[in-house]
Chain A
């Protein structure tokens, strides 16, 4: 069963615009959420996280929003740059387990 879902397999955005990547989860016990970025032929790297006690966390151009009632989180990248083109995985965890979504391939066009 997929406890973490990224329903958009791909997203294409123009350079300078906002990229919004979405993620939904089903397990209400998840209380820590992360986004990872993966370039081809490399392992995923941690990008940003948010605890369930917050609804927003910002780090430079990257902001993660959490809507607990909707069991939904999103990653906003503003402004998007060509170097942001990668696969983005969201992940959700509780004390015992971390689950990953299937990933969204972001392409930022110059």
Chain B
């Protein structure tokens, strides 16, 4: 099983709503990531969790709140978003964090993404 599963696939929410994006992997990976991708742009890193602890927050606004309940799950809680937050939100995981990717010893697997539209 080399899948990273994201739900929902599509989400439309109002600016006053609270919603959550979910990500799940059962590969035993210890690092999980949230990326944001706007149209015609590359993915941009938001958060990194390593061994269930937040290790990188790329100065993401507090209206995005990540949570890692266990080693297989990663959530992204959304509250009071703006229309410009509409994007494809991608979850990824890897066996270990960056150093192992850098050495080519591991791979980062991405989920299919959640297409978020804020109205």
Partners in one complex: no
